[in-house]
Structure 1
Amino acid sequence: MSAPEPAARTAPSLLLVIDPVARRSDGESVRIAKDVLGAGASVKICLPEGPEEFARALSRRGARRPVVVGDDRSLLRAVTLLHRERELSSAVLSLVPVGGAMTLARSLGVPTDPVAAARAVLEGSWRRLDLLVDDSDGVVLGELRIPPGGPGQESSAHGHWLRACHSVVRALAARSGARLERPVRPARASRPTRPTGPGAGPARLRIEADGVTLVDLDQRVDGVQVRPCASSAAGHTPGHAHVEVRQSSPGAEIPPLHTEVTTLTVSGEDFRYRADSLVGGPVRTRTWTVRAGAWSLMLP
């Protein structure tokens, strides 16, 4: 008597949400992903033209498993929407990276080749990942950075610009024989503002890890980097975030401070922060909390 044949594997039911940037920037990769997924699954295709249609497609997915075809921002948008609808824990997301930035996709273990990524959607397994959630309901999947900043640089640049204008006006007046009745003077900034871009100086921030102060306002911070441990190197504790704080002191070299936390609060001077590919702030205080295993992603 012959052995019974194994039951046929049911084809998955997928909702392909194809980002418009991906369609415009790399239509060939989008076509390849559609062909591979269509050959192995029941596929419904959605072509949103903006954030509202993107959100509407996800909310109407029904029993279909959502597959985002796009870049890091597309994945972050999908996770944010599902988190704010309180449906993130019950959804299993997939990503086929196409289009722009793929740094986050790589760090999470998603293949960046469209064929390999599509096969992972069909043949891979879902993995629970940690998430950082802030007190304004924003999320961080891969990395949070707080850049340095210091007062006075923007006002200095403003003064240089005004002095240059003054020189141009005087030169034109001298060439035309005109006489300046009133000299143009560089304006003084009443309140210097602190830049947060590259090259800015250190900031004064209070950094608290699980209620314990790591760095206080009397110390200068050159930068803060935070990663959920589930997407960090091996050896870190799931359900925690790995924090690196870089400090500066005149005439002294301070080694970076490393720790693991479940809650991180940063306060002090107005600061901006980069959550994955999005910039937030300026804010005076912000708290991030680790949500262990808060979302699921299909991986090879």
Structure 2
Amino acid sequence: MAASDQLLVVIDPVARRSDGESVRIAKDVLSAGAATKVCLPDGPEEFARALARRGSRRPVLIGDDRALAHAVALLHRERELASAVLSLVPVGTSLSLAETLGVPTGAVAAARAVLEGVERRLDLLVDDRDGVVLRDLRIPPLTLREAAAQHGPAGATASSVVSGVSGIRPWLRTCQSLVRTLVPARPSRDPVPDPGARSGPARLRVEVDGVTLVDLDQPLEAVSVAPNGSGVAHVEVRPSSMSPEAAPLRAAGHSVTVSGADFRYRADALVSGPVRSRTWMVLAGALRLTLPE
């Protein structure tokens, strides 16, 4: 077996707590098909060290959307995305991003895709603060109630991906779970908006490749940006003056800048802001992800 076929299996503690049976099944399938080294990180530092010390082993993450986003962001910050072919076995309550990217959401099917699949290169968005967007961003973000319905608790963030300790005493785990429930986790950069409140923009300037698509004199209802798989981002803007039947303004480009009044945005599973300006650039083919043939 080639060294590149050896796997480093990093199991997210949230996945271990939420669905230990799926974790066990995935680990058994992977171990039966390849030489594996299993890592059970106790915190962010161990998670980062495991990826940094992977050597020639191919990293396989067992976890949910937030675990995937955290791993990709970490590899990007270390400028190691180009050297890592990442694989994912989705386990947890927030799996819509993984499904959108084409990763099977069943433990057995996903583990077999890790062993038998092929590398696909996917576009990413990277902002001027080194934040990473795998699929799309939205202004205004979903409310906490909407986000909970689609992605699980919106208070959970990338920093919660590697929280928790394996083998902790049951009574202490219960206390920790209660604390997490009562005190929402803080996003890595900015606070989460109040429950039920839309903190969307009133007046914003949206520029695509330096060309103004909509300016400050036109209030906005919504903005969405997503890589379209061909090296550019698809931008859609809906001014608040438009009727529901009217077509939104659309454009495509390599860079998108939003500026003006304070606004929040949702990038994948994380709400950030308020900010006055943010620029996103497309990194074509930056994410190397194993997907089914």
TM-score band by shorter chain is 0.7 to 0.9
Greater relative contact order structure (CA < 8 Å, 6+ sep): 2
| Structure 2: runs of 5+ lacking an equivalent | 143-192
Figure out how many residues of one structure are paired with residues of the other and give that number: 242
Do the aligned residues in 1 keep the contact of 2:136 with 2:225 (CA within 8 Å)? yes
Contact conserved, 1:196 with 1:271, CA < 8 A, in 2?
no
Q: Taking structure 1 as reference, are residues 196 and 210 closer, same or farther at Cα in structure 2, changes over 3 Å only?
A: farther
C-alpha deviations, 1:93-130, integer Å up to 9, x for none?
00000012001001100000000000000000000010
3-state SS, counterpart of residue 204 of structure 2: strand
8 A Cα contact 1:208 1:214, kept in partner: yes
Residue among 250, 275, 293 paired with 1:258: 250
Given candidates 54, 67, 75, the residue that maps to 1:74 is 67
Which residue is 2:135 aligned to?
A: 142
Instruction: Indicate which of 32, 35, 44 corresponds to 1:39.
Output: 32
Q: Structure 1 residues 142, 251: CA separation in 2 closer, same or farther (over 3 Å shift)? A: closer
Write out aligned runs for 1:106-255 (5 A): 106-147=99-140, 198-199=197-198, 203-230=202-229, 238-249=230-241, 254-255=246-247
Which of 10, 14, 22 aligns to 1:21? It is 14
Change (3 A) 1:246 1:296: same
Asked if the contact 2:203/2:260 (under 8 Å) is kept, the reply is yes
Identity percentage over the alignment? 69
Structure 1 residues 252 and 223: CA distance shift in structure 2, 3 A: closer
For normalisation by structure 1, the TM-score amounts to 0.76
* Kept in 2: contact 1:196–1:272 (CA 8 A): no
Unaligned runs of 5+ in 1: 1-7, 150-193, 231-237
Aligned mate of 1:296, from 279, 288, 293: 288
| Per-residue deviation, 1:196 | 9.8
Of 237, 256, 279, the match for 2:271: 279
Distance change (3 Å), C-alpha of 1:101 and 1:272 = same
Match of 1:94? 87
Counterparts of 2:121 and 2:243, CA distance in 1: 45
Supply the distance in 2 between the matched residues of 1:92 and 1:292 (Cα, whole angstroms).
15
Contact kept in structure 2, 1:226 and 1:241, CA below 8 Å: yes
- 1:11–1:40 contact (8 Å) kept in structure 2: no
* 1:270 matched residue in structure 2: 262
Residue 71 of structure 2 aligns to which amino acid in structure 1?
Answer: A
Bigger radius of gyration among the two: 1
Equivalent AA in structure 2 for residue 275 of structure 1? A
- For 2:243 and 2:75, the matched residues in 1 are separated by 48
C-alpha change, 1:21 and 1:201, in structure 2 (3 Å) is closer
Letter in 1 for 2:270: L
Give secondary structure in 1 for the equivalent of 2:56: coil
Q: Quote the Cα distance in structure 1 between the aligned partners of 2:23 and 2:83.
A: 27
Q: Is the alpha carbon distance of 1:220 and 1:122 closer, same or farther for their aligned partners in structure 2, counting shifts above 3 Å?
A: same
Displacement, 1:260? Answer: 1.1
Root mean square deviation of aligned Cα? 2.2
